[in-house]
Amino acid sequence: MNIPFLDNWLNRREKEQGAGLAAALADDPEGVAELFSECEMLRVQARAAGLELDESQASLEALDQLMPRWRRDPEAVPWLGNDAGFYLGTVIIRTIPGAGWRVWPNGQPVIRLASGRELNVIESGVSWAMTGSPELSQAYAEASEG
């Protein structure tokens, strides 16, 4: 069903949310980066498997090796995927010089590399949680190439 005024309202809300996150990131980039790095659901899953996430490339490789038990709960997968994307982004910005968070106009947080290339790490994280591909370590390797 096409309801033009509803489409306009939804588009405006999307832009407002994106502007709010972009403003927060501009005002306090370290605070927002810290918030994005929490990834509580992912950390709980990793801890249950005996893995402590230390925001290193090696931790991404270890996550790729976990048995994906979360796939049994289809409601948990998108949430865990978001966390995986935020964790991937956290590792990238803490280990690759010049990388940082940016917000697209639609409100989607992404990583911008020093080269100007932008990575939708949330999309990568959700795909990893759902299918195991791309591996988080592979996404990191591609980011480190610039």
Where residue 20 sits, what CATH number does that domain have? Answer: 1.20.120
> Which residue range forms the structural domain that includes residue 72?
4-144
Task: Encode 57-96: b = buried (16+ Cβ within 10 Å), e = exposed.
Answer: bebbebbbebeeebeeeeeebebbbbbbbbbbbbbbbeeb
pLDDT in tens, 90-120: 999 999 999 999 999 999 999 999 999 999 9
Count the domains in the chain.
1
Report whether pLDDT(13) > 60.
no
pLDDT in tens, 52-105: 999 999 999 999 999 998 989 999 999 999 999 999 999 999 999 999 999 999
